[in-house]
Structure 1
Amino acid sequence: MCGRIAVTLPTDAMAQMFAALPANNLPKVPNFNVCPTTAVHVISTQNEQRHLSAMRWGFLPQWYASLSGGPLLINARAETIAQKPAFRDACRMRRCLVPVAGYYEWTKDAEGKRLPWYIQAGDGATLALAGVWQDWGPEHERVRSAAVVTTAANASLASVHHRMPVIIAQKDWGLWLGEEGKGAATLMQAATEDALQFHRVATTVNSNRASGADLVTPLAT
């Protein structure tokens, strides 16, 4: 599961990092509380050019009659993505990267209260999450949407959540984006045990209206 993310890298730096052409309608950064159904930064390759663009976080299968015409598909399971009708074409032809500073997961205490955790790269670098995308709707109302690919969590993260996003290393960006032939399926696996670090944060982030860098500050113990 990956249901909330933080994006802090400036747009220009993001475009330079991925050698991508930036669109003009990108979401404002930093944003420490990016929620499903809102726009996220996405890297895709089209016509041999990488693009940095905004996409709706919440994949829209072609058969949805409206934006809320079915379940909200913010994640796609790596184990079944190639077989699921909603994702199988996108998995073959429309893979993307979702650059993030980190993401949130939740555990529960004995009373059922949701306790948030912030998860980021061990070295604090930007993470490139594996994703898939597609266009939905008539041409004059076209919506470009995306989902983050997830897999079973590694042993260290399993204490927080049993799923984690697939993270694509820089050397594999071209392969995942379809620039280097076949073999992208081999990338859909959990990150190594030391790749990520995580810490508890305040329950402020439980609200999708919360904002600010304090959301990722480690909770005092």
Structure 2
Amino acid sequence: MCGRFTLTVPLQKIEERFDIEDTTLEDYEPSFNIAPGQNVAAVINDGAKNRLGVLTWGLVPHWASDPNIGYKMINARAETAHTKNSFKRPLETQRCILPADSFYEWKTENGKKQPYRIRLAGESLFALAGLWEKWEKKDGDKRFTCTILTIEANAFMEGLHHRMPVILKEELESTWLDPGIQDHHALQNCLAPIDSSIMEAYPVSKAVNNVKNNAEDLLNPL
């Protein structure tokens, strides 16, 4: 699964990396401990250009009666998303990218869970594959939410967890974002584990366990 990640770079770098032409992202600040239920930076394509805005992490299906269901939908299995009522529609036309520069995973060591920070070599920005949804009540209350797709761990991640978030290959990002592409097989080609050779990880402080902690020193290796 993917339950925490980071986005620590300046806004300009995000806009350049993902070819953003339009943004509604206000009051952006780097975050060292992004958690479910929080607002996250997200990239969508409106059919003509890439747009950067905000979604709440935890997908609320359009048919849900209770928006709190989103806390149970922070991740979607890439292998079966096309068969699930919650994810089938957004997989077809409401795909997004969540920019990130690392994510956290917990490994059991000596009976205790030790958090690790996982990143790409060179501390590169990367694209987490996501789905977004619009939920609206009759009184007009609207919520725009998202989930992160996960897949079976690659060789690098197997020692930490049996699942991992889908990190899109850069050359497939435009395919993933294109709302005009709805072919299941074309989309599945985007949802493969990234090459193990470009990943690295190191243990970090257990302070990351508390979502209230969001300081740069969380990134420091033990």
State the shift of 1:209 in Å: 0.7
Partner of 1:190, secondary structure, is coil
Measured against aligned partners, the alpha-carbon deviations of 1:116-163 in whole angstroms (never above 9, x if no partner) come to 000001221001111111111138321111111110001121100111
Q: Spell out the pairing of 1:66-145 with structure 2 (5 A cutoff).
A: 66-69=66-69, 72-111=72-111, 113-138=112-137, 140-145=140-145
- What is the aligned partner in structure 2 of residue 212 from structure 1? 215
Matched, 1:185 2:184: no
Q: Give 1:180 deviation, angstroms.
A: 7.0
CA RMSD of the aligned region, Å? 1.7
- CA distance in 2: counterparts of 1:125 and 1:6, whole angstroms: 12
TM (norm. structure 2) is: 0.92
Other-structure match for 1:41: 41
Judged with a 3 Å threshold, the aligned counterparts in structure 2 of structure 1 residues 177 and 72 are, in CA distance, closer, same or farther, namely same
* Inter-partner Cα distance in structure 2 for 1:168 and 1:70: 23
Q: How many residues align?
A: 218
In the alignment, residue 17 of structure 1 is paired with which amino acid?
R
Match of 2:13 in 1: 13
1:85, 1:172 → 2: CA distance? 25
Tell whether the 8 Å contact from 2:47 to 2:179 is kept in structure 1 after alignment.
no
Whichever residue aligns with residue 134 of structure 1, its letter is E
| Alpha-carbon offset, residue 179 of structure 1 | 5.9
Q: Distance in 2 between matches of 1:84 and 1:110?
A: 37
Sequence identity of aligned pairs in percent?
A: 28
Task: List runs of 5+ in structure 1 lacking aligned partners.
Answer: none
SS at match of 2:13: helix
- Unpaired runs of at least 5, structure 2: none
CA distance in 1, matches of 2:190, 2:113: 31
Query: 3-state SS of the aligned residue for 2:189?
Result: helix
Residue 195 (1) aligns with residue 194 (2) = no
- How far apart in 1 are the matches of 2:137 and 2:16? 32
Q: Distance in 2 between matches of 1:9 and 1:41?
A: 12
Distance 1:98 1:69, change over 3 A: closer
Q: 1:25 to 1:124 in 2, by over 3 A?
A: closer
Local SS of the residue matching 2:15: helix
Structure with greater helix percent: 2
Q: Any idea what the Cα deviations from partners look like across 1:57-88, whole Å, max 9, x if unmatched?
A: 00101232222146520111011011011001
